[in-house]
Amino acid sequence: MYDCILVPTDGSPEVEHALEYAFDLARAHDATIRVIYVVNVAGYGGLPMETALEGISDALRKEGEAAVARAEELAPDDIEVETAVLEGSPSRVIVEHAQPGECELVVMGTHGRGGINRLLLGSVTERVVRHAPVPVLTVQVDSPDMERQPDRNRVAVE
C-alpha cells in the first residue's frame, strides 16, 4: 500500500516518537522512509545584514543535517532510510514531497498547541493535513503521558 513514507523532522527529540510509528508502518508495508528537514530562513528576513541571514541559513542547515542523521541512526537495520535537507516554507515543501507515486503517506509529529499559541505561530502540521494529496498520520509528540528524556539528542550549532 505504501512504498514511501515521508517523515518531516524539526530535530527535536520528541519527533522520535513519530519516527517509531513510521518505522513500524514501513516494516509492515516494506516501505522506504524519507526523512526531511526544511530550512526556513523567511522568519529571519528582518535582519539588517545579508551576511547575518547567510550565517543563520548555515546554522539551520547544520541543525538539519544533524536531525536527519539522528533519524538515520534510529532506523532499524531492515528499514531503508533516505534523508534530505531542503529549503523553503516547511508546509509547502512537505506537501510537494507528499505526492502519489512519490511518498504516499506522511507521518509527522504535532505538539498539540491550541488557542493563541496556534493562532500566532500557525501550524505546519495543520497546513500539511489540509493540503497534502496523500494521507497524513499525526502523532502527538508532547503528550503528558510520554516519558520525558533529557535533551541530549539535540546538537548545538555554534
**Residue 4 is inside which H or E element, if any?**
strand 4-8
- pLDDT tops 80 at residue 29: yes
Q: What are phi and psi of 56, to 5 degrees?
A: -65, -45
Topology, domain 4-153: Rossmann fold (3.40.50)
**Residue 81 is inside which H or E element, if any?**
strand 81-87
How crowded is residue 106: how many other Cβ atoms within 10 Å of its Cβ? Answer: 25
Q: Where are the domains of the chain?
A: 4-153
How crowded is residue 128: how many other Cβ atoms within 10 Å of its Cβ? Answer: 23
Residue 155's pLDDT band, with cuts at 50, 70 and 90, is very low
Contact (Cβ atoms closer than 8 angstroms) between residue 110 and residue 140? yes
Residue 137's pLDDT band, with cuts at 50, 70 and 90, is very high
- pLDDT tops 90 at residue 9: yes
